[in-house]
Structure 1
Amino acid sequence: MIVCSLDRSIHDRKAFDCGEPALNAFLQTQAAKHQRQGFSRTFVLVDDGAASRILAFYSLTNCEIGRSSITEDDAKGLPLHPVPCVMMARLAVNRANQGESLGKWMLMDAIKRTALISQQTGVHAILVDAKDAKAKQFYERFGFKEVAENPMRLYLPLATALNAFQ
């Protein structure tokens, strides 16, 4: 399996079905457009033998949150400015592949890519919007914490994420 940037000339977006119509529609109709416009980048997991079949995907974009949005412990020592983040805007696994730990695989890939981004620009945390309680629990298992104003928006300091890899 390999994770690569979405290429609408290669990857079969129409065949992807994660069971969530909004996520399917994003991949099928908006992801490539957002890439062309510079709003986000979508990464797909494909099988080496069937490179057109998308097993899972996620999107990354830049954002920031207020310093008051993170816990006091995480805010200690930070400047009094908005906190630069990379948002993993969407994460979905094809129904046929759910239960194979591909969501974890994609989250780890997103963290690795965010670490690379942080070598070029400031990134303090990774942000996600959990679509429901089950998704929230998924992210919390990896150490994500609630943003103060929105319990479904979660963050993970990049340093914490990278320490988990070691």
Structure 2
Amino acid sequence: MRYQIEPLGKSHERGAFSCGNRELDDWFRRRAGQDARRNIARIFVAVEPEMGIIGFYSLSAYTLSIEDLPKNIAHKLPNYDALPAALIGRLATDSKVQGKGVGKLLLADAIRRVLGAMEKLAVFAIVVEAKNEVAVSFYESFGFAQFPLHPNRLFLPTKEAMSALGESVK
């Protein structure tokens, strides 16, 4: 399967996309474009020439409370009220391509974009919102850890993300 990942634009037809989760489908069809125009989130889509949009994810800035972190990580950090983070708020693949690795490649692309932004902007961790236990397991397989008080919210320190992808910030 050949596809490319690019920013969501006006020319992208979103109506046929269906991941099987009504909430995600509705957001993508009705609000993703608005969120992008209002600078609430950046939306990136995986586009396959014959099938159209086969997946997407959203990225936005996030503030992480140090109190939400596991104690073994929090005690190593300065005692600030908030830490800078990036949020992958939504990530989904079309039901026609689920289980074919598109989600993994979308997640890797999102992480690379966050790491690339770190040349100009500090980001301590990447945070994700998992919709269900399957999504929690998916993110955990990439090294994300659950927040102790919010089991459907997970994080990956950017230092660990850099090591995992073999990348560094200049």
Q: Which TM-score tier does this pair reach, normalised by the shorter chain?
A: over 0.9
Instruction: After TM superposition, list the pairs within 5 Å mapping 1:77-156 onto structure 2.
Output: 77-81=76-80, 82-156=82-156
Give TM-score, length-normalised by structure 1.
Answer: 0.93
Are the equivalent residues in 2 in contact too, given 1:61–1:87 (CA < 8 A)?
A: yes
2:66 corresponds in structure 1 to 67
Unaligned runs of 5+ in 2: none
Whole-Å Cα distance in 2 between the matches of residues 159 and 13 of structure 1?
A: 35
1:53-79 CA distance string (max 9 Å, x none): 101000001111111211233234322
Whole-Å Cα distance in 2 between the matches of residues 94 and 15 of structure 1?
A: 9
Deviation at 1:29, TM superposition (A): 0.5
Unaligned runs of 5+ in 1: none
Whole-Å Cα distance in 2 between the matches of residues 66 and 162 of structure 1?
A: 22
Number of residue-to-residue matches in the alignment: 163
- Give the counterpart letter for 1:89 in structure 2: G
1:4 partner SS: strand
Give TM-score, length-normalised by structure 2.
Answer: 0.91
Deviation at 1:149, TM superposition (A): 2.0
Instruction: After TM superposition, list the pairs within 5 Å mapping 1:42-57 onto structure 2.
Output: 42-47=43-48, 49-50=49-50, 53-57=52-56
Moved over 6 A (4+): none
Whole-Å Cα distance in 1 between the matches of residues 97 and 125 of structure 2?
A: 29
Whole-Å Cα distance in 1 between the matches of residues 24 and 45 of structure 2?
A: 13
2:96 partner SS: helix
Whole-Å Cα distance in 2 between the matches of residues 144 and 83 of structure 1?
A: 17
Q: CA RMSD in A?
A: 1.3
Deviation at 1:120, TM superposition (A): 1.2
Whole-Å Cα distance in 2 between the matches of residues 105 and 132 of structure 1?
A: 20
2:36 corresponds in structure 1 to 35
2:6 corresponds in structure 1 to 4
Whole-Å Cα distance in 2 between the matches of residues 131 and 27 of structure 1?
A: 15
Deviation at 1:80, TM superposition (A): 1.4
- Give the counterpart letter for 1:94 in structure 2: D
Whole-Å Cα distance in 2 between the matches of residues 76 and 101 of structure 1?
A: 36
- Give the counterpart letter for 1:138 in structure 2: F
- Give the counterpart letter for 1:27 in structure 2: F
- Give the counterpart letter for 1:129 in structure 2: E
